[in-house]
Amino acid sequence: MVKKGDIVLISLLLILCVIGLVVPAAQKDNSDTVIVTAGGSIHGEYPLGEDREITVSYGGHTCVIAVEEGNVRMKAADCEDKLCVKQGAVHSHNEIIVCLPSQITVYIGKSGADDGGMDTIAY
């Protein structure tokens, strides 16, 4: 026996499910991505919203990039000038941290989308 109340309840649950599926997907679409490049090619892409540490080695240099609470910074680097570490944290779309000696860049952009931002980085 299916009662009218059950149908309402099931409908409500279905609607909640649909909202639950759609909303995170939409948020994910708009979320910024940390794009790490080494020597001009993409080393990896990481969601800005997930805390992590990324170690990148290139050309004999190693940089440690920290993603913390929506901020990205060069936590450590063995380059000569340490300008990348001194630059501090970035958190906005199109912001970039560059380590010139190691040719490692950290860029906040959109995942997979070619918004032209990467083209402005000249080596």
Residues that bind Zn ion (CB under 5 A): 77, 79, 84, 99
CA dihedral of 89, 84, 96, 67, whole degrees rounded to 10:
-40
Q: Report the residue number, 65 or 79, with the smaller CB distance to Zn ion.
A: 79
**CA atoms of 105 and 20, how far apart (whole Å):** 35
- Smallest separation (angstroms) from Zn ion to the CB of 28: 31
- Smallest separation (angstroms) from Zn ion to the CB of 90: 14
- Smallest separation (angstroms) from Zn ion to the CB of 27: 33
Q: For residue 100, what are the contacts with CB-CB under 8 A and spacing of at least 6?
A: 79, 81, 83
Q: Report the residue number, 62 or 71, with the smaller CB distance to Zn ion.
A: 62
Structure tokens at 40: 């001009």
**CA atoms of 76 and 104, how far apart (whole Å):** 12
Q: Which among 97, 98, 104, 96 has a CA at the least distance from the CA of 59?
A: 104
- Smallest separation (angstroms) from Zn ion to the CB of 99: 3
Q: Report the residue number, 48 or 73, with the smaller CB distance to Zn ion.
A: 73
Q: Report the residue number, 4 or 86, with the smaller CB distance to Zn ion.
A: 86
